Amino acid sequence: MEYNFLGRTGLKVSQLCLGTMNFGPETSEADAYQIMDSALENGVNFFDTANVYGRKKGEGVTENIIGRWFAQGGGRREKVVIATKVYGTMGDWPNENRLSALNIKRAVEGSLRRMQTDHIDLYQMHHIDRNTPWDEIWQAMEVLVTQGKVLYVGSSNFAAWHIVQANEAAKRRNFLGLVSEQSLYNLLERTIELEVVPACEAYGVGIIPWSPLSQILGGALQKANEGRRASEDQQKKIEKYRPQLERWEKFCAELGEAPAAVALAWLLHNKVVTAPIIGPRTLDQFTGSLRAVEIKLTPEQLKTIDDIFPGPGGTAPEAYAW
């Protein structure tokens, strides 16, 4: 496993980030333990979760699973860079969501308790909160950093101008500000190349792509031919992109690589990307993803991928103007 610095920080994280959203709803606790143990055995030190993961409002199911795994000891907590999120609704009262100072304080205490740890390495705002001023947000985050409960702050699902606005506000307070942005980014969803990627590069913000396989980039056609059932949404998506998927899976077969691994490797060729999030349901899915860090695509291969899945045409404004 190779490691990248998280944005402009001195923190080293593995080139793949273990996403835990399936832990609880799709993956049993015992299987989740196996996946996390295997992650450490294979050098994956970067885990991502959120207080709302688990599909049971207010319970923090996934964070609790991680906490019980940490509690087993053996250096588990010490080896992991743990990232979680704040914003989602954790209760029925009006201040149990979003990014008010009150909710940030309550949410961080809840995440620390559930994960049985005294600090969160990367605390991410799960979405932009247009109703809370940056001075309030940064003051709340500064308190947590001073208390040692949070080390770094990141964002998720921010537009480029949100990243600029946030970091300029942090700069005025002599605060480090955002060091990472977790964005939807994959071969089918390349919109962030217009403005988010350039903004992150300019501000030293590492990109952590979520949904790197977009449900269907991991060999959907081959799986269908093998008789595996896809959800109705996946089936619609497959039909929408069938010509591209046929070219894609043929290209990957010629490379002798699994489509999922190539899709992840493509993301890693972007210098602004810190680590794509892999969200395995099973141990086999996790171990299959590890091959991605070993795949080095040539310029010609990258061009072929661009031909199959064209991006927006570069960065703004040149992508659509002059």
pLDDT in tens, 262-315: 999 999 999 999 999 999 999 999 999 999 999 999 999 999 999 999 999 999
What is the share, in percent, of the chain residues with pLDDT greater than 90? 96
- Cβ neighbours of residue 80 closer than 8 Å, sequence gap 6 or more: 40, 45, 46, 47, 70, 121
pLDDT, position 228: 84
**pLDDT, average across residues 142-159:** 98
pLDDT, position 226: 86
**pLDDT, average across residues 112-129:** 98
The distance of Cα 6 from the centroid of its chain, to the nearest Å, equals 12
List the chain domain ranges: 3-216+258-297
b/e map 16-29, b = 16+ CB within 10 Å: bbbbbbbbbeebee
Candidate CATH numbers 3.20.20.100, 3.50.50.60, 3.40.1190.20, 3.30.460.80; the one for domain 3-216+258-297 = 3.20.20.100
**Taking all residues of the chain, what is their mean pLDDT, rounded to a whole number?**
97
Is 87 labeled as catalytic in the residue annotation? no
Catalytic annotation, pick one of 3, 33, 53, 152: 53
DSSP-assigned letter for residue 23: B
pLDDT, position 231: 85
Per-residue pLDDT for 225 more than 90? no
Helices (H), 71-193: 76-79, 101-115, 134-147, 160-172
Q: How confident is the model at residue 227 (pLDDT cuts 50, 70, 90)?
A: confident
Structure tokens at 281: 């349901």
Strand extents, DSSP E, the chain? 3-5, 12-14, 17-19, 46-48, 81-86, 120-125, 150-156, 178-184, 206-210, 277-278
Per-residue pLDDT for 232 more than 90? no
Per-residue pLDDT for 230 more than 90? no
Q: Which of 178, 100, 109, 170 is nearest to 140 (CA)?
A: 100
What is the share, in percent, of the chain residues with pLDDT greater than 70? 100
Per-residue pLDDT for 124 more than 90? yes
Q: What angle do CA 85, 45, 118 make, to 5 degrees?
A: 55
Q: Are 114 and 67 in contact (CB under 8 A)?
A: yes
Q: Are 109 and 140 in contact (CB under 8 A)?
A: no
Q: Are 216 and 186 in contact (CB under 8 A)?
A: no
Name residue, tokens 């998720």.
156
Q: How confident is the model at residue 173 (pLDDT cuts 50, 70, 90)?
A: very high
| pTM score, whole prediction | 0.97
Q: Are 70 and 108 in contact (CB under 8 A)?
A: no
How far is 257 from 268, CA to CA, in rounded Å?
16
Name residue, tokens 């799960």.
126
**pLDDT, average across residues 61-82:** 98
How far is 220 from 4, CA to CA, in rounded Å?
30
pLDDT in tens, 176-208: 999 999 999 999 999 999 999 999 999 999 999
